[in-house]
Structure formats: C-alpha cells, structure tokens
Structure 1
Amino acid sequence: MLGIIGGSGLTQLANLDVSHREVVRTPYGEPSGPLTFGRINGHDVVFIARHGYGHTIPPHLVNYRANIHALETSGVTQIVSVASVGGIRGDLGPGALVVPHQIIDYTWGREMTFQSGGDGPVIHVDFTDPYDAEVRQLLLDVSRRIGEPVIDGAVYATTQGPRLETAAEINRMEDDGADIVGMTGMPEAGLARELELPYAALCVVANWAAGRADSRHGIKFESLEAVLQEAMVRVRRIIEGICEK
C-alpha cells in the first residue's frame, strides 16, 4: 500500500477516492492528523498532511515519529514524500520538480530516532543512500512515461525553520554541496529507514533560495502560491501514474 506525505501546497489529494479517515494512536504521541484512506485508480493509498490539514504545524514541531509509525502500522509498504523547497542549483528554479538523491541535515533538537535507550541493544542504521532506490526509480519512470519533466538527483539541505535562511547560509550550504533547501526532509527519511519502509521524495521548487536570482534581496512570498498550485497539479498526475502500475 502506498503512503503519501503531503507538504506545503498538498494538504489533500483531490484525486483520492476516500473510503474513511482514521485517528491512529502511537507510542510517540499524535500524528499530524487523521490518516486518510482511499483508492486512486483502484490502488490503495493512505495520505497524511505533514503540517496538519489546516497547515498549522510548523516544520520543527511536526511529530515525524508519530507520522511514520502511524503509516507503518496501517500497512503502508512504501512512502512518497511531497515537499516544497527552495532552489540553489542553477537548473532548479521555481516550478521545477526534482527527486533528490542525498540529504545534508542541519536540523537540531528534533526527535530523530525510535530508539529511546534501555529497551535493547543499540541498532545502527545504514544511511549511505538515504532514499530508497526503487521508489526513486518508480517516480522517475512514471514521470517520463506520462511526460512530466522531473529532474533526477539533488542534495536536499534540511534546515530547522520556520524562518527561511540568510543569503550567507545558502552560500555555505552550496559550498557543502546542497542543491535544494527545505525544512522537513529530516528526520522523516531517517525514521522511515529505521522501520525499513522504502521512502523517496518528490520535491517542488517553490522559489529561489535566499540570495539567488529574483530572491537576491528577499523571498517574494506573493508568487509562491501560484507556483505551488500549478506544480501540485503535476504532482497529482505523477501520483496517479504510480497508481496505474
């Protein structure tokens, strides 16, 4: 069963034939909201809005552990995470869709692991390649098949939020090798890996990162909504395409 985590711009799946919603309790507290169960093209899908269905939960306060645990206990076998990001690399401007292949984690103070200590031996999880290769390839193959341009590969810098970054911080991230910047890539990907849930991300570039192109002197928030609305139509087409396989 496919799990979809919706980010900014995707608080619901309009193409989901909803069967029911379920409040799921977890040992790690409350998820961001009820899980929405339904079907797309006859394929079982579970959806959760990362920031809540009213987009009220800031990135540093998302209960990532509860969200991932709730999806896993509900029978999800693979996860596609949808997230909006800022573009750093020159070919990643507003409206671009990208499937990242690597992560740099700049967050702090978040609950990063299901391991609480004292309940068994420490388990080290390999995170060399943070995204599942098969789910990444599925996103890329489906996008090509339906004719949606999607960029293969980017390094996702995950920042703490909720404030956006300074131009100097973006310069530093670029020097570190980052191509896009967002606030929700971690610990979500790491938690999915701990539960052995195949996980990959489909990112929408909503704006140029601070200090880049038309964001050189500030982020133009008034243009973000239109970019996200258009891009999320394409994201929904890709999700529909996944469910045709």
Structure 2
Amino acid sequence: MNDRQRPTADIGVFGGSGFYSLADGAETWEETTPWGPPSAPVTIAEFGTGTPVRVAFLPRHGTDHRFPPHRVNYRANVDAMRRLGVRALIAPFAAGSLRPEIKPGEFVVCDQLVDRTWGRPSTFYDEFADGPVHAPFADPYDPELRHVLLEAAAETGVTAHDGGTVVVVNGPRFSSRAESRWHREAGWHVVNMTQAPEAALAMEAGIPFAGIALVTDYDAGLESDPGVEPVSQEAVFAVFEANLHKVRALLQAAFPKLAALSDTDVSET
C-alpha cells in the first residue's frame, strides 16, 4: 500500500517504443487500480515557468519494454491516469505508413481508428451493474487536442499530417503483404499495435485523448517501389530513437497550450 498522498497532474502521456522519460528530476508514483498495476510507475514532471504544467508519463510497454502490445494492461494504464486527475491524455506511438506520401520520420495526428485487435479487455464495463453503458466512439480523437498538436508541430518545424486513419493490429508480428495491401486499399493511412483499446478506454474514462503517430517504416513495403524493404523490428527502433528529439520538442511546445485548453474544460469539445 502506498502511504504517500497521491499526486495530481494536468496532462498524461503514454510513451511509445523507446520513449521512456520526459525530464530529469521527475517524481515517481506507484498507482494501484482495480485492474491490477499499470505497466510501470508513473513519473510526474513540471514544465514551464510561472505556473508550471504537471505532466504524468507512463511507458505503455513498461520501462524495459517487457509487455508486448497484446499483453499491455490498458485498463490499468488509463485508470491510473484518471486517478491522477489528468484532463488530457496524449499518446505518441510508432506506426508504419500505408501511403508513399507519408514518410518515415514524419508525424500523423490521427482523427480516425479501425480496431482489428482481439482478445484484449477493451472496456471498463465487464457488467452493467447500474444499467447499460455504451460509450460513443464516432470520433476517437479529441479535435481540440489534435489542433494543439498540429500547432505545436508547426512551431517546432515537425512535418505532421493533419488527420488520418490508424488501423490497429494485434501484433506482436508485423503485417503480411496481403494484409498491408488490404489496409491500404481500404483507405487507411498508418498501422499500429496499441491505439486500441487505449482510445476507447480513454473515452469511457471521460479523458480527452489524442494519438500522434511517428512513422518509422512502410509496413510490408510499397508496391510502387520494390526497392522498399518490409519493416523490421531493428528498423522501427532505430527510426524512433533517431526522431525522439522531435517528439520531445513537439510535446514540450504543446504542454502549455494543452494545460490552457484543459482549464476551459476540453471535455466539452
């Protein structure tokens, strides 16, 4: 049992592959939830001068990347952020591009999601003890949060595509060429393994949510360019690591704007 008083935070961030810290000197908090422990202790850091923004960071795969995407305790992770009082939840994630115009090293501030996962607990409502609860999910990503992230990208010189659909696969394997072709022909833009059920759980928890894809590869390759090799784990980690500075710069530019937005009750957007 943790005897310390639970800290609070304004903004929550779920880290993607290799993104395990935001700032030096952050305090740590071991949260408990009815769904079990989250992937790792939460770290909370302050950003800015004057009235600093308190940001809670949680690496979704654990501090040593021990949890594959189908074994992440998404319910505990989202609930931990809810218990810390975050009013906006940002989820950077690695993604494969399904389109030649979306290049490795660029970002996509997604506006839609297709869930192709299975076997993952994807709701907080295992029973309707107090009556039915069917959360709306037409727009998985909060438009005001998306706007802030795009603004921050422009300010920091990061190439960020405005809108796009992420198709979420179960992993941990990558797609076959046929699956990748299917995803592309369906009109989707990037592929990832963690945005579901993260986005849906945030919706149920009442936390405005935004996902930002850092493109690391071209999935199973590009039919228009046979010289593009299919994705490999080594390539994904290398591109993500090489572009972490862009993620950091974008988020740090966004934090004050997100805090100001949450002060006006972003959940009403």
- Of 156, 176, 186 in structure 2, the residue corresponding to residue 146 of structure 1 is 156
* Residues 1:37 and 2:44 are matched in the alignment: yes
Please state how far the C-alpha of 1:43 moved relative to its aligned partner: 1.3
Q: Runs (4+) of structure 1 moved beyond 6 Å?
A: none
Contact in 2 for aligned 1:11/1:55 (Cα 8 Å): no
* Cα distance change, pair 233–97 in 1 and its aligned pair in 2 (3 A): same
- Of 122, 131, 150 in structure 1, the residue corresponding to residue 141 of structure 2 is 131
The residue aligned with 2:12 is 3
C-alpha separation in 2, matches of 1:100 and 1:176: 16
Contact in 2 for aligned 1:208/1:214 (Cα 8 Å): no
C-alpha separation in 1, matches of 2:234 and 2:32: 37
* Cα distance change, pair 237–224 in 1 and its aligned pair in 2 (3 A): same
* Cα distance change, pair 134–214 in 1 and its aligned pair in 2 (3 A): farther
Identity of aligned residues (%): 35
- Of 69, 79, 93 in structure 2, the residue corresponding to residue 83 of structure 1 is 93
Instruction: Tell me the alpha carbon deviations over residues 24-63 of structure 1, each in whole angstroms, 9 at most, x when there is no partner.
Output: 1100111001110111222110000000000110000000
Trace 1:22-33 onto structure 2 (pairs within 5 A). Answer: 22-33=29-40
Trace 1:1-245 onto structure 2 (pairs within 5 A). Answer: 1-13=10-22, 16-41=23-48, 42-212=52-222, 213=225, 218-245=230-257
Gaps of 5+ in 1: none
Contact in 1 for aligned 2:167/2:183 (Cα 8 Å): yes
Look up the equivalent residue of 2:125 and give its one-letter code.
Answer: Q
Contact in 2 for aligned 1:3/1:80 (Cα 8 Å): yes
* Cα distance change, pair 243–218 in 1 and its aligned pair in 2 (3 A): closer
Gaps of 5+ in 2: 1-9, 258-269
Please state how far the C-alpha of 1:214 moved relative to its aligned partner: 6.5
Please state how far the C-alpha of 1:17 moved relative to its aligned partner: 4.3
Q: Secondary structure at the match of 1:56?
A: coil
C-alpha separation in 2, matches of 1:170 and 1:31: 31
Contact in 2 for aligned 1:86/1:206 (Cα 8 Å): yes
Contact in 2 for aligned 1:18/1:36 (Cα 8 Å): no
Please state how far the C-alpha of 1:118 moved relative to its aligned partner: 4.2
Q: Secondary structure at the match of 1:48?
A: strand
Look up the equivalent residue of 1:226 and give its one-letter code.
Answer: A
Between the two proteins, the alignment pairs up a number of residues equal to 243
* Cα distance change, pair 114–168 in 1 and its aligned pair in 2 (3 A): same
Please state how far the C-alpha of 1:217 moved relative to its aligned partner: 5.0
C-alpha separation in 2, matches of 1:2 and 1:63: 20
Contact in 2 for aligned 1:37/1:45 (Cα 8 Å): yes
C-alpha separation in 2, matches of 1:88 and 1:215: 15
Q: Secondary structure at the match of 2:238?
A: helix
Look up the equivalent residue of 1:26 and give its one-letter code.
Answer: T
Please state how far the C-alpha of 1:225 moved relative to its aligned partner: 3.3
Look up the equivalent residue of 1:37 and give its one-letter code.
Answer: I
Contact in 1 for aligned 2:39/2:73 (Cα 8 Å): yes
Instruction: Tell me the alpha carbon deviations over residues 107-135 of structure 1, each in whole angstroms, 9 at most, x when there is no partner.
Output: 00100100011421111111111101111
C-alpha separation in 1, matches of 2:226 and 2:32: 44
